[in-house]
Structure formats: structure tokens, C-alpha cells
């Protein structure tokens, strides 16, 4: 199954990643069927005209919260027997400036990064341009990173 390389790290074969393709596919179906990827639903959310998105994000966080608590409390291991570790998020001003900028983009495109992939899948081919532009945005951030306030 897993090879151990010279650093003692487990090196996975590419096909071990297929399970993430599977989880991603379920996730994509869910995204489309719950209309989370709908521009209209995002506009409703930001106008407080519908509970739908708040219900989805709220219940997702609740389930995530309970799951992480159980994993930590009972020291649950991965299917490969590894200890589960979650990197903590460090605060910097980027979460404020970047957060606001992403918020602007979210209300314009009606999509966060995940839904972009799902929208393209449903046949909205013009969203390929949105995705390329998002990749460009990430690249430009990387280019100016040292000069931006963090």
C-alpha cells in the first residue's frame, strides 16, 4: 500500500487520491441540488430574503463542530491508523482585508471557489472565465504578497 520514503513520510500512490474524487463528486451533486451554487440563492442570502443558505451553512458547521469534537475526544484515527491533526489558523490582518475582498467577489459571482467548479460541470461554460480570473487573482496575490499588509 504505502511506501515509506527516505524522510520516513508515507508516500501515497496517485490512485489513493481517487477517494477524494469520489467525495468531491458527492459534494458537487449536493452543491447543485441544494442550489448553493445558484447566484440567485447567494443574492437572497445577502438581502436576508431567505433562510436557505443560513440553514445550510449553520447546520454544516454544527455537524462539523460535533464531528471534530468526537474525533478529538475519542482520539479517532484515520483509516490508515494515523493520528488526526488539524493545523490551527493564525490570525493576521489578511483575514479582514482579504475577507472583505472575497465578500465583494462572492456577491458579484454568486459563488465561492467550490461552486465555480460545480457550475462549470452543470454546463455554465462561461464560468471557466470566472475560474481563470480567480486563478489569476490568486497568482497576483502571491506576486504582491510581501508588500501587502498582513
Partner 1 sequence: MIEFLRQPWPWYIAGPIIGLTVPALLLLGNKSFGISSSLRHICASCVPAKIPFFHYDWKKEAWNLFFVFGIFLGGVLAAVFLANPHPIEVNPALADELAGYGITNYNNLIPADVMSWKALVTPRGFILIVVGGFLVGFGTRYAGGCTSGHSIMGLSNLQWPSLIATICFMIGGFVMANLILPYILSL
Q: Which of residues 78-137 bind partner 1 (CB under 8 A)?
A: 78-80, 82, 84-92, 94-114, 116-127, 129-137
Q: Give how many residues touch partner 1 by CB under 8 A.
A: 118
CB-nearer residue toward partner 1: 4 or 21: 21
Residue length of the chain: 150
Determine how many CB atoms are found less than 10 A away from the CB of residue 36. 21
Residue among 2, 36, 74, 147 that touches partner 1 (CB under 8 A): 36
**Shortest distance, CB of residue 147 to partner 1, whole angstroms?**
12
Strands 3-4 and 10-11: antiparallel
End-to-end CA distance of the chain: 42
Does 13 bind partner 1 (CB under 8 A)? Our answer is no
- Measured CA to CA, the distance from residue 138 to residue 102 in angstroms comes to 11
Please tell me what DSSP assigns to residue 88.
P
Q: Identify the three-state secondary structure at position 11.
A: strand
Residue among 1, 8, 46, 147 that touches partner 1 (CB under 8 A): 46
**Shortest distance, CB of residue 3 to partner 1, whole angstroms?**
14
Amino acid at each position: 500500500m504505502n511506501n515509506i520514503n527516505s524522510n520516513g513520510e508515507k508516500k501515497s500512490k496517485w490512485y489513493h487520491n481517487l477517494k477524494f474524487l469520489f467525495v468531491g463528486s458527492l459534494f458537487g451533486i449536493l452543491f447543485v441540488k441544494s442550489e448553493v451554487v445558484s447566484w440567485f440563492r447567494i443574492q437572497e442570502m445577502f438581502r436576508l430574503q431567505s433562510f436557505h443558505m443560513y440553514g445550510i451553512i449553520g447546520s454544516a458547521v454544527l455537524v462539523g463542530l460535533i464531528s471534530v469534537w468526537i474525533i478529538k475526544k475519542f482520539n479517532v484515527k484515520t483509516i490508515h491508523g494515523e493520528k488526526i491533526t488539524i493545523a490551527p489558523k493564525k490570525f493576521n490582518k489578511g483575514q479582514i482585508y482579504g475577507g472583505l475582498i472575497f465578500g465583494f467577489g462572492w456577491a458579484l459571482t454568486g459563488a465561492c471557489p467550490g461552486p465555480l467548479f460545480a457550475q462549470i460541470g452543470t454546463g455554465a461554460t462561461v464560468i471557466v472565465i470566472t475560474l481563470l480570473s480567480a486563478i489569476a487573482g490568486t497568482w497576483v496575490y502571491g506576486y504582491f504578497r510581501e508588500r501587502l499588509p498582513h
